[in-house]
């Protein structure tokens, strides 16, 4: 074990950790991380004796491990998480809209994730069907029981903690749909926006959805403009973090369009790499440099093959065309606008 390796400070325990790590299947790329995880667990037991802390760590790790195991076989499929009130009746236009939306997304070869409860969540699971549905339920003393369209399915997960549940919602999905709802819906909405705005999540479509005659999101958007933007609590660019749509078809098309050229983004050695499904013409790259130079910290936006050390040969994204630049990591609304522009200008 290297002297620079993360250690417990107890040579005997460190040696046991090293020996234990060798009992797992070989994984050269992740060996250091594996040792750090085991060392972190050991340090936790050396430093803490509180039963409540033990229970929290144990439950959180078990929930995350189980969720990762469930989602792993489906990681190659785009997924859309749908939020909204658990209290909306089946006769509501929003309920019907959620059913239609899920049906359309499944037709686009996507899967649906919900909180597994009633109302909008039930509608989305109903529209998607069991085969294309996930449910991430939260154990509450009232209200939240798994709906009949996901109950008993192996892709239904039960969570004790909101923080682990919210992590999985973001980590395992590629787009967010928010229909009208209560505090939980607004909490998830602001969580999604905050993570995107601060660069703690990768770019994604975040869509506010309600019928044309609805005013739920209209009133919310008026407040955002009149209070948050007016008082400079957020930037005007942050409006580009989300879209307001008024039909299931519009929402589905917005998600499909977001991924029609853009595939994914990653940060690597100080660079931002945008991976695309199609090659980006030189005239488009020139236009991007003209219109989005305000978010380039240094140099220009340019096309590139995979950078040395960036990816493995068996990575699904290895052969994808790339745009590379030094993003200032401040104006994520503008970054989102740039991705939307790439989709529009290339297609």
Residues 219-259: tens digit of each pLDDT: 999 999 999 999 999 999 999 999 999 999 999 999 999 99
Here the tokens at position 17 are 């950790």
Helix or strand run (H / E) with residue 164: helix 162-171
- Tally of CA atoms within 13 A in the half-sphere of 45 that contains its CB: 8
pLDDT at 307: 87
Residues 20-75: tens digit of each pLDDT: 988 888 776 677 888 999 999 999 999 989 999 999 999 999 999 999 999 999 99
C-alpha–C-alpha distance, residues 204 and 191, integer Å: 13
Residue 338 included in any domain: yes
pLDDT at 6: 85
Percent share of the chain, pLDDT over 70:
96
Residue 332 included in any domain: yes
Question: Do 162 and 87 share a structural domain?
Answer: yes
Task: Select from 236, 258, 280 the last residue of a domain.
Answer: 258
Instruction: Average the pLDDT over 311-339 and give the result.
Output: 89
Say if residue 119's pLDDT is above 90: yes
> How many structural domains compose the chain?
3
What DSSP designation does 111 have? E
Question: Do 323 and 209 share a structural domain?
Answer: no
Question: Do 273 and 132 share a structural domain?
Answer: no
pLDDT at 50: 93
C-alpha–C-alpha distance, residues 52 and 16, integer Å: 27
Residue 193 included in any domain: yes
Residue 2 included in any domain: no
Residue 272 included in any domain: yes
Question: Do 198 and 271 share a structural domain?
Answer: no
What DSSP designation does 306 have? P
Range of the domain at 276: 262-346
Question: Do 174 and 79 share a structural domain?
Answer: yes
Q: Binning pLDDT at 50, 70 and 90, where does residue 181 land? A: very high
Task: Select from 33, 57, 72 the last residue of a domain.
Answer: 72
Instruction: Average the pLDDT over 302-324 and give the result.
Output: 83
Task: Select from 33, 50, 72 the last residue of a domain.
Answer: 72
Instruction: Average the pLDDT over 328-338 and give the result.
Output: 96
pLDDT at 30: 74
Question: Do 222 and 133 share a structural domain?
Answer: yes
Residue 294 included in any domain: yes
Question: Do 226 and 104 share a structural domain?
Answer: yes
Residues 144-155: tens digit of each pLDDT: 689 999 999 999
CB count, 10 Å around CB of 43?
16
**Quick check: 83 and 98 in contact, CB under 8 A?**
no
CB-based contacts of 271: which residues, under 8 Å, 6+ apart?
307, 324, 325, 326
Residue 167 included in any domain: yes
pLDDT at 1: 45
Residue 1 included in any domain: no
Question: Do 303 and 231 share a structural domain?
Answer: no
Q: What CATH number has the domain bearing residue 335?
A: 3.30.1360
Say if residue 2's pLDDT is above 70: no
pLDDT at 313: 53
Of 1-15, 108-122, 217-231, the least confident: 1-15
Question: Do 185 and 46 share a structural domain?
Answer: no
Average pLDDT, the chain: 94
Q: What CATH number has the domain bearing residue 82?
A: 3.40.50.450
Could you tell me how far CA 79 lies from the centroid of its own chain? Answer: 9
Q: What are phi and psi of 281, to 5 degrees?
A: -60, 150
Instruction: Average the pLDDT over 109-124 and give the result.
Output: 97
Question: Do 85 and 180 share a structural domain?
Answer: yes
């Amino acid at each position: 074990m290297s002297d620079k390796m993360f250690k417990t400070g107890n040579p005997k325990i460190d040696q046991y950790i090293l020996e234990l790590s060798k009992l797992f299947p070989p994984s050269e790329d992740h060996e250091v991380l594996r040792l750090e995880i085991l060392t972190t667990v050991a340090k936790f037991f050396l430093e803490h004796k509180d039963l409540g802390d033990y229970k929290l760590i144990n439950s959180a790790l078990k929930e995350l491990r189980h969720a990762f195991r469930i989602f792993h076989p489906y990681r190659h499929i785009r997924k859309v998480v749908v939020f909204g009130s658990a209290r909306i009746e089946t006769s509501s236009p929003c309920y019907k809209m959620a059913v239609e939306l899920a049906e359309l997304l499944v037709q686009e070869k996507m899967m649906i994730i919900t909180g597994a409860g009633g109302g909008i969540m039930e509608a989305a699971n109903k529209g998607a069907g069991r085969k294309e549905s996930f449910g991430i339920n939260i154990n509450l003393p009232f209200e939240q029981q798994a709906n009949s369209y996901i109950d008993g399915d192996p892709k239904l997960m039960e969570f004790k903690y909101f923080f682990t549940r919210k992590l999985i919602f973001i980590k395992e999905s590629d787009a967010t749909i928010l229909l009208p709802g209560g505090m939980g819906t607004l909490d998830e909405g602001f969580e999604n926006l905050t993570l995107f705005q601060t660069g703690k999540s990768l770019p994604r479509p975040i869509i506010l959805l309600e019928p044309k005659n609805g005013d739920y999101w209209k009133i919310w958007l008026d407040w955002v403009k009149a209070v948050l933007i007016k008082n400079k609590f957020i930037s005007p660019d942050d409006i580009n973090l989300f879209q307001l749509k008024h039909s299931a078809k519009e929402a589905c098309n917005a998600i499909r369009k977001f991924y029609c050229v853009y595939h994914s983004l990653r940060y690597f050695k100080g660079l931002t790499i945008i991976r695309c499904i199609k090659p980006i013409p030189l005239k488009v790259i020139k236009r991007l440099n003209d219109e989005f130079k305000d978010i380039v910290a240094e140099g220009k936006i340019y096309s590139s093959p995979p950078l040395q050390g960036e990816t493995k040969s068996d990575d699904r994204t290895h052969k994808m065309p790339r745009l590379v630049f030094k993003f200032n990591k401040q104006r994520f609304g503008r970054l989102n606008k740039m991705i939307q522009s790439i989709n529009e200008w290339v297609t």
